[in-house]
Amino acid sequence: MTTETEGQAAGSSPAAAAADASQAELATADALSYEQARAELVEVVQRLESGGSTLEESLALWERGEELAGICRAWLEGARARLDAVLEEEEEEAAEEDEEER
């Protein structure tokens, strides 16, 4: 279920839509922080690279790695969307200041 604000953000720009998708992925992802997901992803990759796992174990590790990569991606996309919003706001403020000076 999306809130009215989320619905408006999703319709406003691709970055906002990506941020909403990222937030949805984060909400369903055991609420891991970026650092936790990245650390676990590093462990998964090391286990896969070391070999010695059965096919079933390797597939399970691969799937977990994909999930963790998605969590990390969602955090990074969310951070990018927040930065873009701040930069856009600063640009608008600068433009308003320029207009006032004229």
Q: At what angle do helices 55-101 and 34-50 cross, to 10 degrees?
A: 150
Write the pLDDT tens digit of every residue in 8-28. Answer: 444 444 445 555 655 555 555
| Residue owning tokens 């390797």 | 58
- What is residue 61's predicted lDDT score, i.e. its pLDDT? 97
Higher-confidence position of 78 and 6: 78
* pLDDT tens digits, one per residue of 22-63: 555 555 555 899 999 999 999 999 999 999 999 999 999 999
CA 31 – CA 33 distance, rounded (Å): 6
Measured between alpha carbons, how far is 62 from 39 in angstroms, rounded to an integer?
15
Predicted pLDDT at 100: 79
